[in-house]
Structures are given as C-alpha cells and as structure tokens.
C-alpha cells in the first residue's frame, strides 16, 4: 500500500510540474458542427439532449462521419510545439459514443462509422513518439445511449435521456456501471499503453462504493494513472475548475478552458480568445499553483480549425522563450504584485467545483497591465502581463526580504538596469523589450542570493 501511494505521489508531482495540456473534444457532434435538420442547435456538443434526439437517429450521424484528414501525428506534434506536456482525449462523451474500438459496446467509431479506425491507438503511438503523456476523458455520470443512467443536475432527470428511456425511477446506475463503465475503463487502461490521467466528467449519481471500486480498478490496472475529482465522492487526485481561473483546491488543481465558446467544433463559433488572453490565463493559473488544460474541438474531417492552429502556434512561440518560468515552477510567497487591483470577473457568481452546462465561460475578459509571480529554487519569475512601458516598479520582492543577485529579461540579451530604493525594486527594461514577442507578456528572471 505504501509503495502504491509513493507511485501515485510521484505521478501527481510530475503532472503538477508539466503545467500545460491540450484538451481534445472530438465526437459525432463535430460532424454536425452546431446544426441539426437545417437549424442552429443550442447546447453545443450537448445538442442530442437539447433536441431530444433518439439514440437510433443520433447514431446515424456516424454514417457520414469519415474524418479523412485525421492525423494523430500532426495533432500531437502541434501540442508539443505549443509547449504542452499532455493530451486529454474524449474516449466517450455524454452521447455514449465511444471514440475507440470498444469490445464491450459496439456503439463506437470503429464499428459504426465509415472511418473504421481507432483514434486512441493512433494517438498513443504519436504520444510515445513525441514524449507527450496520453490522458483520456470519460463521461461517467451521463450516457444518453444507455437505459440505466439517472441524473440529478440541475434537477432530477435534468441531464437524462428521458425521450428514449422515460422512467427515471426505473434506472439503476449500478447496472450501467457494471455493463459499460467498468468494462470500458478496463479496455482503456489495458489496450493503449500508459495513460497519465483518467479525466472523468459529471459524476452525477455515482455512489461512494462505486467511486471507490472504480479508483481501485484504475490503481490495479495502472498504478501511475491519476484520476480527477469527478470520479466522485472524494476519490480524486486533483480537482477541476471548469471555464474558470479560480483555484478549486489548495492542493493539486487544473483549469480547463475553451478557446472559443464551445468544447466541440461548432461552425457558428466566432468569439475566440486572443493569444494574449490565453497566455494571461496560463500565467494566472500557474501562479496559483494549477495546471491549464486548453481545449480544441477538431472538425468533422479530423483537422484543427484554422483559428485554433493560429493561436496554438502563437502560444508556442511565447513558450519557446518563457517556458522555464512555467514548467516545474511553484507559486511564490505572493501571487501577484498589486492585490488592490479590482477583480476582473465579479459579475459571475459560481461555486468552485460546480459542473457547468455546455456553453459557459467564467474567465476574465479585461486586459490590464499587472504582475504575477512564480518561483523555482533561488529564482523568482515576474510576469509583466500586457506590459507597455520600459519602467517597472515592484514592491513585493523587497517586502519579502529577498537579496537580489541578478535580473534578466527572458529572450532578451540586453542588460536590465535595477535598483532598490525606498523599499521598492525599480528597474528599466531594455528599449527593445518588445522585440521578438508577439504576445505582450514579458518575464523577468530574478536570481536571489
């Protein structure tokens, strides 16, 4: 037991050091891309629920699903070049359709679609090639294909398939758990090599005994595999903040965010976060001790949308210069320089671990110059977010009694002039500090004695 706990601790330590991952929401909903029977749907990739589409009819989408542009190598290579260390792929979303060759359920991409290929097998191979950790998403408490999945959010049967299976009281979660969940989790952890995280979603009505049994199954099959808190009942290794930068735990936590409005590809999406906003979010999450899991919804043909690729490439260029301030770092004594700055997102009230519906975004929208910190060994990193001037004044460093040895600007060889005066650290950035940085977030590397 002690050995197993040590293995888990080491896996969690590595996960927390990696900081940055790619979320991939891909399923039949990518093929319809936000439309159904000639009209725009609500609920994004949840449209089967909103449109009340029978399982038999929804499954016919697979007849047209033939993503000939899917290239696992290209996907994983893009993640690597963006500076990401792990990938989370949707093995099965709420629609119940498995995006791999599931022996226990023929409702899957290999058996039902014209594609006939197993994306997870190809992703596993590519992840091994590029040394990216493969992780898998699994919708736990929602499955609209199975007759035995009751839900209670936001009300009784609120996210259940009540059009195919109307008797909510007759549904027994454990029957679904034994028939589908345990066999599919066993497949996922047995057939594709090492899996870093099983990223469960929507625990809904899973019981404590079932959560414990599921955690034990994961530990038995792959002792190094972590699970998030959505396994339910307190059995997770780390917690999730969905579409929010607010820390969900004083321990290990991860923020999962979309670039656009939807998780799955939607042709009607037109509001996308800029590379600057994405880096601001990454910095804020890491400075608060979390990981950032940034989502892309590939298209029905298997390619990434152009707007997503464009942003990933921009983020990757920033990471090339500044990644040492991200990887293996930890929060410093203070998170940010000016704690008096008004919070940017007071308009949205939310509980930290609440499960959101499909289209929701609680992240800050304002772009204001500010300073965030991370640390590593005897180094403190100061992130100058959305910075425009050469003059910088930092109060927190001297306030916390640091003896400064040297200051440099990552990606710039010119000298940074600095002095401590009136208990404040004052410095001037090189005149060309913006050179080579497409994203105006600059990192001061402050070496201490």
Percentage of the chain exceeding pLDDT 70: 94
| Paired sense of beta strands 417-421 and 379-385, if any | unpaired
Tokens of 350: 């939310």
Q: Is the pLDDT of residue 347 over 60?
A: no
How is domain 1-328 classified at the architecture level of CATH? Alpha-Beta Barrel (3.20)
* Residue 98: C-alpha distances to residues 118, 361, 370 (Å): 10, 27, 44
- Angle between helices 119-130 and 72-82 in degrees, nearest 10: 40
Rounded average pLDDT over 289-315: 98
pLDDT for residue 262: 96
For residues 93 and 438, which has the higher predicted lDDT (pLDDT)? 93
State the CB neighbour count (10 A cutoff) for residue 310: 13
Helix (H) / strand (E) element for 448: namely strand 441-448
> What is the per-residue DSSP string for 382-403?
EEEET---SEEEESHHHHTT--
Return the closest-CA partner of residue 359 out of 25, 20, 55, 52. 25
- Asked if residues 146 and 174 have their Cβ atoms less than 8 Å apart, the reply is no
CA dist 412 and 403 (Å) reads: 23
Q: Is the pLDDT of residue 338 over 80?
A: no
Residue 144 backbone dihedrals phi, psi, to 5 degrees: -80, 0
Helix (H, G, I), strand (E, B) or coil at 224: coil
How far is the C-alpha of 391 from the C-alpha of 132, rounded, in Å?
A: 39
For 187, the token pair is 């497949």
Token output for 216: 């034990």
| Cross-strand partners of 65 | none
| Closest by CA position to 326, among listed 66, 63, 25, 85 | 85
Q: How far is CA 77 from CA 71, 80, 100, 312, 314, in A?
A: 10, 5, 21, 11, 15
Q: Which residues contact 219 (CB under 8 A, 6 or more apart)?
A: 4, 8, 225
Residue 1 in this model has a pLDDT that exceeds 70: no
**For residue 160, is pLDDT > 80?**
yes
Comparing 431 with 352, the larger pLDDT belongs to: 431
Q: What is the pLDDT of residue 402?
A: 80
Beta strands 35-36 and 253-258, pairing class: unpaired
Average pLDDT over residues 364-380: 93
Closest CA to 80 of 244, 320, 298: 320
In angstroms, how far is CA 400 from the centroid of its own chain? 33
Just give the CATH number of 332-448.
Answer: 2.60.40.1180
Question: Which of 49-58, 248-257, 364-373, 397-406 has the weakest average pLDDT?
Answer: 397-406
**pLDDT tens, position by position, 206-263:** 999 999 999 999 999 999 999 999 999 999 999 999 999 999 998 999 999 999 999 9
Mean of pLDDT over the chain: 93
**pLDDT tens track for 412-444:** 999 999 998 888 999 999 999 998 778 999 999
Question: What are the phi and psi torsion angles at 321 (to 5°)?
Answer: -85, -40
The ranges assigned to domains in the chain are 1-328, 332-448
Residue 355's pLDDT is 60
Q: What pLDDT was estimated at residue 29?
A: 98
């Amino acid at each position: 037991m002690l050995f197993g706990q040590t293995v888990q601790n080491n896996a969690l330590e590595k996960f927390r050091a990696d900081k940055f991952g790619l979320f991939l929401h891909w399923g039949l909903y990518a093929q319809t891309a936000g439309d159904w029977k000639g009209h725009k749907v609500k609920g994004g990739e949840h449209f089967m629920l909103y449109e009340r589409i029978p399982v038999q009819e929804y499954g016919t989408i697979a007849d047209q699903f033939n993503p000939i542009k899917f290239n696992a190598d290209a996907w994983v290579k893009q993640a690597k070049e963006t500076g990401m260390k792990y990938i989370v792929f949707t093995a099965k979303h709420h629609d119940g359709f498995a995006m791999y060759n599931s022996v226990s359920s023929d409702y899957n991409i290999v058996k039902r679609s014209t594609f006939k290929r197993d994306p997870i097998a190809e992703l596993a191979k590519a992840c091994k090639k590029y040394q990216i950790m493969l992780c898998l998403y699994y919708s736990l408490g929602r499955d609209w294909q199975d007759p035995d999945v009751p839900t209670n959010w936001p009300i009784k049967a609120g996210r259940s398939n009540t059009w195919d299976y109307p008797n909510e009281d007759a549904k027994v979660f454990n029957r679904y758990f034994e028939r589908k969940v345990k066999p599919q989790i066993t497949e996922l952890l047995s057939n594709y090599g090492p899996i870093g995280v099983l990223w469960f979603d929507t625990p809904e009505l899973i019981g404590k005994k079932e959560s414990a049994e599921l955690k034990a199954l994961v530990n038995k099959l792959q002792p190094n595999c972590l699970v998030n808190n959505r396994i339910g009942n307190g059995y997770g290794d780390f917690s999730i903040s969905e579409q929010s930068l607010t820390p969900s735990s004083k321990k290990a936590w991860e923020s999962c965010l979309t670039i656009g409005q939807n998780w799955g590809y939607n042709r009607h999406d037109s509001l996308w976060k800029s590379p600057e906003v994405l880096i601001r979010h990454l910095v804020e999450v890491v400075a608060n001790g979390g990981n950032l899991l940034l989502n892309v919804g590939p298209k029905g043909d298997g390619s990434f949308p152009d707007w997503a690729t464009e942003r990933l490439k921009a983020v990757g260029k920033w990471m090339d210069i500044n990644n040492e301030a991200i990887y293996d770092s930890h929060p410093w004594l203070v998170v940010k320089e000016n704690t008096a700055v008004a919070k940017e997102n007071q308009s949205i009230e939310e509980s930290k671990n609440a499960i959101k519906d499909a289209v929701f975004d609680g992240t800050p929208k304002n772009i204001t110059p500010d300073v965030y910190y991370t640390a590593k060994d005897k180094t403190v990193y100061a992130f100058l977010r959305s910075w425009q001037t050469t003059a910088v004044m930092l109060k927190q460093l001297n306030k916390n009694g640091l003896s400064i040895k040297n200051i440099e600007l990552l990606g710039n060889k010119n000298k940074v002039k600095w002095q401590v005066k009136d208990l404040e650290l004052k410095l001037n950035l090189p005149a060309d500090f913006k050179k080579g940085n497409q994203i105006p977030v600059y990192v001061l590397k402050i070496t201490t004695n």
